[in-house]
Amino acid sequence: MENFISPPPMPPLPPPPTPPDPQINASSSSITNLTHSPSANIPDEETTKLTETQKMLKQLFQDPLLSDLTKYINDDKSSQTLLNKSTNKNVSNTIDDSSLTAAINSLTLEQVDTLIALELGTAFEITIQRGGLEPLKMVVRQNATIADIKNLIVLQISRDIKEANKKKGRKNRKIRQKLLEDKARIQEIGIRSGSVLKFSRYNSKIKKEKNRTEREKY
C-alpha cells in the first residue's frame, strides 16, 4: 500500500487593497468653488445702474439751485393760494353789496341789450352837457336817430328823478325837451363815439324863418 502524500496547504489569499482617499474629487470641488466664487462677487448690470442712479439723485438733491427752485415753487403756491382766497372774499363782498344788487335789479332789458351792443362795437357812448347841471352819459346804437336820443334823455332824467324822489321823499314834475328833426339819423348829422351834445333854448323865431324859407322854395 502506497503512502498518500497530501498536497501542501494553499497559502491564504492576501486581502484586497483598500481604495485610496478621494483626494481628486476634493481637489476638483475646490477648483470648482474657486472657479465660481469670483462670479458671485461681481455685481450684475442692473445693480450697477441702480447704484449710479442713486448717486446721481443724491447729488441732484444736494444741489443748492434745486433747493432754491423748490423753495420758489412752494412760495409761489402759497402766494397763489392767498390770492385765490382774497379774490373769493372780494367777490363775495361784491355780491353781498346792496348797492350793486339794486343797480342790477334796476337794469331793463333794453339797457342790457344796449350794453351788449357796446361790447360788440355796434354802439358807442356820448355825453350830453346841460349847462350847470350834471352831464348825461348814455350809450346809443350806430343806427339810432335823434328821436332815440330824445327818448334816452327822457328815460335817464325820469330815472334820476325817481331816484331823487326815493331819497328826498317828494315828487317833482318830469322834464321834457323837444328836439328838432326826430327822424334824422345820428350818423348823418355827425354824431360819433365821444360826441358831446348841449342843451340850448329853443327859439320859435328861428323855426318860423325856417318854415318861411321852405315855403318860398316851393
Residue 185's CB is within 10 A of a number of other CB atoms, namely: 14
Structure-model confidence comparison of residues 173 and 110, the more confident one: 110
pLDDT beyond 70 at 197: yes
Cα–Cα dist 152/111, whole Å: 10
pLDDT band (50, 70, 90) for residue 96:
low
Look up residue 61 and give its three cell numbers.
438733491
* Joined grid coordinates for residue 141: 346804437
Tell me: pLDDT of 198 over 60.
yes
Residue bearing cell 342843451: 199
Contact at 8 Å (CB) between 145 and 184?
yes
Domain ranges within the chain, ordered by starting residue = 53-106, 108-202
| Residue 36 and residue 42 in contact, taking contact as beta carbons nearer than 8 Å | no
Residue 179 CA, distance from chain mean position = 49
Mean pLDDT score, 64-73 = 65
What was the pLDDT predicted at 184? 76
CA distance linking residue 166 with residue 173, whole number of Å = 14
124-130-135 Cα angle (round to 5): 50
Provide long-range contacts, Cβ within 8 A and 24+ apart, for 93-100.
Answer: none
Q: Are strands 133-141 and 196-198 parallel, antiparallel or unpaired?
A: unpaired
Confidence label for 200 from pLDDT (cuts 50, 70 and 90): low
Q: pLDDT at position 205, please?
A: 60
Q: Is pLDDT at 34 greater than 60 in this prediction?
A: no
pLDDT classification of 35: cutoffs 50, 70, 90: very low
Q: What is the pLDDT of residue 159?
A: 80
Confidence (pTM): 0.34
Whether residue 178 contacts residue 132, with contact meaning beta carbons closer than 8 Å, is answered with no
Per-residue pLDDT reduced to its tens digit, 134-152: 888 888 888 888 888 888 8
* CATH class of the domain at 108-202: alpha beta
Cell triple for 21: 482617499
Q: Is the dihedral of CA 104, 110, 111, 115 positive or negative?
A: positive
* Rounded average pLDDT over 189-207: 69
Query: Which helix (H) or strand (E) is 126 found in, with range?
Result: strand 123-130
When comparing pLDDT for 176 and 200, which is higher?
200
Q: Which of 6-15, 53-62, 148-157 has the highest mean pLDDT?
A: 148-157
Distance CA 216, CA 212 (A): 6
Three-state DSSP at 42 gives coil
